[in-house]
Chains A and B, each alone.
Chain A
Amino acid sequence: MSLTIEIEQGDIHVTITLSGDVDTKTAPELLSKLTALELHALEQLRLDLQAVEFVSSAGLRAIVFAKQKMPHESALYLIGASEQIVDTINKTGLAQAVRIVSSVDDI
C-alpha cells in the first residue's frame, strides 16, 4: 500500500496529513519530508493520522526523530490516530514525545 503525504504550512504550525500505511517501505518518504522542514525552529507539528491504519517501527522512529530535532518547548500532535497506533505508542514509551488528540479541535 502506498502513502500520500500532504504538507500544509500554517502560521505557527505545519500540518502533515498522511493517508495509507507508514510501513518499512514508505517510512523513508515520511522521514525525508520531515527532515526537509525547518524542524529546529518549528513550534508545532501536526500529524494527521486519521487515514492511516498502520505505522511501522520505522514510521514511529521518524516521528520521534522529528520531535528530537524540534525545540524543547515545541509540540508534536498526533491527530486521530487509531487505537492500535496509540497502544503501540504507549507500550513502547514514545507517548511522552507526542500529544495525542482525536481531532484538530482538541489542540
Chain B
Amino acid sequence: MEIERIDNTPTETIEGYRVRPGKPLPFGVSSVPGGLNFSVYTSAGTACTLVLFSRSEEQPLAEIRVPDHYRIGDVYSIVVYDLDYEDLEYGFRIDGPYEPELGNRFDKNKILMDPYARIISGRDEWGADPDWDRAYQYRSRVAFDDFDWEGDSPLEINDADLVIYELHVRSFTKNENSGVKFKGTYAGIVEKIPYLKSLGVNAVELMPVFEFDEFENSRVHPDTGEKLYNYWGYSTVAFFAPKAGFAASGKIGMQMDEFKQLVKKLHKEGIEVILDVVFNHTAEGNERGPSISFKGLDNRIYYMLTPEGYYFNFSGTGNTLNCNNPVVRNLVLDCLRYWASEYHIDGFRFDLASILGRDPWGAPLSNPPLLESLAFDPILSSCKLIAEAWDAGGLYQVGTFPAYGRWSEWNGKYRDTARRYLKGDDGQLGEMAQRVQGSPDLYQANGRSPATSINFITCHDGFTLADLVSFNGKHNEANGENNCDGGDDNHSWNCGAEGWTEDRDITRLRTRQSMNAIGILLTSRGTPMLLMGDEFGRSQHGNNNAYCIDSPVSWVDWSLMDSNRTLFEFTRSLIRFRQNHKCLRINRFDHEGSRYLPSCSFHGTNAWEVNWSAESKQLGWLMSCDDEETGHMDAVYVASNVAHYATWFNLPQLPDSYQWKLYYNTGNLESAYYENPANYDEQGILVGERSMIIFAASPRET
C-alpha cells in the first residue's frame, strides 16, 4: 500500500488552486508528487504573488498571493497542485519599497522572471519581432528531465591536449552554403560534427548560449537601414536556460533537448563543450533598462550600486552583477553546477572574469570567495575554468588572476606578442620565446602550468585571422557607431593593401602569414584556441567588433573552404601533428626534456645561439621529450623568420640515431605541408621571407 505523506497534501485553496507551504530549496520550480514547488528569494520584498499563465496567453490564469506564513527567512515558497506542466508559464510579482536612492526598485505591477527558470519562452524563434506590448516578455516555464543520455558523461580531456575551436552557434552554419538543413542552430552544429572531427579539434567553445534577447538595444543602421542586433549575446536574460532562438525546435519549446543532443553527439566524437558564460552583468542594464528579474526581486543584493543607488559599470554594459555577495555567489555556483550536471558541460570560459574578483564596492579582492568556491567545488572539480582575466573597469590580471591551481586564462599577452612578432616588429623575440613555452614569465612563479595559458591569436573579439593580415585598421562602419567601437590596438598588418586586392603577391603573402600564425599557435605549449573559420580564411571585411551584425558578414562562408584549401589542409595537418608530438603538449615548466635534448630550447640562425637584439627577426624553438610508448625521443624544431628577406638557419644537430624530417614550409605555398615528410640530411635550410619551417625528429632507419 502506498502511504500518502502528510507533508504532501494541499492545506488550502487560493484562487481555485489547491496549495500548501512549499520547500525553500531548491530555488525555482521543482516537481513534487502531484504538484510543483515554487521558491523565490527576496530580502527586501514585502509580499510575493505567483502569477500563472497558460502558454503564450496574454492574461494570467491566476495570481496566487503567497501567504506570509509560507515565507521562511527571505524565501517565499509554495506548492501548487494539479497544474498542466506542459502548458504552464509563470512569473512573480514582488511588492516592496521603490527607493532608488537606497537601491530598492520594487514594483508590484511588473511580472518578474524566475532567476532559476530552466526554460524560457518569449523569444522562441530567432529574429521574430516580439510583441512589446506584452507585460511579461521572458516567461519562465517548467523543464523536463527525460533526456536519454545513453551513458554519456563529460570527457575530461587533459587541458594540455585540448585544441579549442571558438564558435558562435548561429554564425557557424547560418550561411546558405553551410550545407546543413537546420541552419544557425544547435542541430546545425550537430550536422557539422564530421567537419569538426576532420579538422581535428577536440573542444568547441560556444559563445553565449544562455537565454539572451537579440532585440536588446536592437536598432536600424542610420545609413544602410540594416537591422542591428544584440547578436553575440553577451547579456544574459536567464542563466539557467539555453537560448531558444538557437534551437531549430525552439518554436515547440524543445531547446533543452536539442542542446543536450548537441552535447551528447559532440561527446560521442570526442569533442568537449565549453560554454562562454557571462556573469559580470545582465540584460537589465542601468536605471533606464527593463526590470526583467533581479532588479525587481532584490536590486540591492544583485547589483553593485553607488552610494546614490546608481549602477556601477565595470562591464561597460550598464550594470555589474554583485558576484561576491553570498546570495549571488550561490546563484552563480548553482548555475554552473546545473550546466555541468544537467547538460554534461566540460568547461566554462568566464567573460570579463576579473569582475568576479571585485568586492561589492568594486575593489579587487586578494582572495575572492566566488573564484575560490568555483575552484574547489565538488561538482565542478573536473570542469575547465577559463578566465578572461580582465574587465572593462581597467583591471588586467593576465598572469595574476586568483587561480587556486584551477583557473586557466585567455592569454591576451600571447595574442599581442604573436601578432607583433608575426608582422616583424622590433624587439619581440624575448617575449615570443616566453609565449611559445607556455608563458613561464606569467605562470611559473605561482606554481601554475603551461596549459594555464589559453593561447590564441584571434577570437570573436577583434579581427579574424584573414582580416588580421588584410587590414591595418578596423572598418566597423556597419556597426552604426561611426567606426568608434572596437579596439584600436590590433597589431595587424595588411601586407601591402588595405582590404580586398587582386595583387597576387599580396594575397600569397596573406596566406603565408595566416599559416605562420597557425604554425606558431600550434607549436606553442599551452592550450591553443582557434576561431571558427580561420582555418580557411573567414573574413568580416575588416570589422573587428561584429557584435551586432547578423548577416553574411558575420556568418561563416563555407565556400572559402575551396578557395583557401591550402590553408585549411595546412591547419588540419598541423593539428594532427600537434596531437602526434607530445613534446609540444608538455604541461610542466620543470620538465627536464628527453635523454638527448632539453625540454625547450631557443635557436637563431645558428643552432643554440639566439640574437636577442631588438632588430633580430629570426627565432627557432626546439622541444623535446621521451615518448614512453615508443621508447623513442620526440623532438620538434621550428625555424621562423619574420624578416622580409630569406635567411639561412643552421639546424640543431640530432644524435646519430635520429634524423630530421621536414614537415612544413610556409615559404612554399604549393606544398606547405608534406603528406610523406622526407628525411632531411642537410646541415641547414634557407627559410624564406616571412616564413616558417617545421621539422620533427625520427629514428634513423638503418
Q: Are A61 and B258 in contact (CB under 8 A)?
A: no
Chain B contacts for A27, CB-based, 8 A:
86
Q: Are B146 and A28 in contact (CB under 8 A)?
A: no
A72 at the B interface (CB under 8 A)? no
| Size band of the interface chain A makes with B | 20 to 34
Chain A contacts for B147, CB-based, 8 A:
93
When C-beta atoms are compared, the residue in chain A nearest to B85 turns out to be A58
When C-beta atoms are compared, the residue in chain A nearest to B54 turns out to be A24
Q: Are A68 and B146 in contact (CB under 8 A)?
A: yes
A50 CB to nearest B CB, Å: 20
- Please provide the chain A residues from 59 to 107 with a CB less than 8 Å away from any CB of chain B in the complex: 60-61, 64-65, 68, 87-88, 90-94, 96-97
B195 at the A interface (CB under 8 A)? no
Q: How far is the CA of A73 from the CA of B148 in the complex (A)?
A: 16
Q: Are B253 and A96 in contact (CB under 8 A)?
A: no
Q: Are A92 and B249 in contact (CB under 8 A)?
A: yes
B284 at the A interface (CB under 8 A)? no
Q: How far is the CA of A64 from the CA of B145 in the complex (A)?
A: 11
A21 CB to nearest B CB, Å: 12
Chain A contacts for B55, CB-based, 8 A:
24
Q: Are B260 and A87 in contact (CB under 8 A)?
A: no
B161 CB to nearest A CB, Å: 27
What is B's interface to A at a CB cutoff of 8 Å? 55, 84, 86-87, 144, 146-148, 150, 181-182, 185-187, 190, 247-249, 252-254, 257-258, 260-261, 264
Q: Are B260 and A93 in contact (CB under 8 A)?
A: yes
A86 CB to nearest B CB, Å: 12
Question: What are 6 contact pairs spanning A and B, CB under 8 A?
Answer: A56-B252, A91-B182, A91-B186, A91-B248, A93-B147, A93-B258
- If over half of B's interface residues share one DSSP class (helix, strand or loop), that class is named, otherwise mixed; here it is loop
Chain A contacts for B264, CB-based, 8 A:
93
Given A93-B147, A93-B264, A57 and B87 touching (CB < 8 A)? no
What is A's interface to B at a CB cutoff of 8 Å? 24-25, 27-28, 56-58, 60-61, 64-65, 68, 87-88, 90-94, 96-97
Q: How far is the CA of A57 from the CA of B254 in the complex (A)?
A: 6
Q: Are A64 and B146 in contact (CB under 8 A)?
A: yes
Closest 4 pairs (CB-CB, A-B): A93-B261, A92-B257, A58-B86, A91-B187
A97 CB to nearest B CB, Å: 6
When C-beta atoms are compared, the residue in chain B nearest to A67 turns out to be B148
Chain B contacts for A58, CB-based, 8 A:
86-87
> Per a CB cutoff under 8 Å, which of B181, B186, B247 touches A87?
B181
Chain B contacts for A25, CB-based, 8 A:
87
When C-beta atoms are compared, the residue in chain B nearest to A64 turns out to be B146
Q: Are A61 and B260 in contact (CB under 8 A)?
A: no
Q: Are B144 and A61 in contact (CB under 8 A)?
A: yes
Q: How far is the CA of A87 from the CA of B190 in the complex (A)?
A: 13
Chain B contacts for A97, CB-based, 8 A:
148
Q: How far is the CA of A96 from the CA of B530 in the complex (A)?
A: 33
Q: How far is the CA of A58 from the CA of B150 in the complex (A)?
A: 22
Q: How far is the CA of A55 from the CA of B377 in the complex (A)?
A: 41
Q: How far is the CA of A25 from the CA of B264 in the complex (A)?
A: 31
Q: How far is the CA of A92 from the CA of B148 in the complex (A)?
A: 10
A27 CB to nearest B CB, Å: 7
Given A24-B86, A88-B254, A93 and B181 touching (CB < 8 A)? no
Q: Are B257 and A93 in contact (CB under 8 A)?
A: yes
Chain A contacts for B86, CB-based, 8 A:
24, 27-28, 56-58, 61
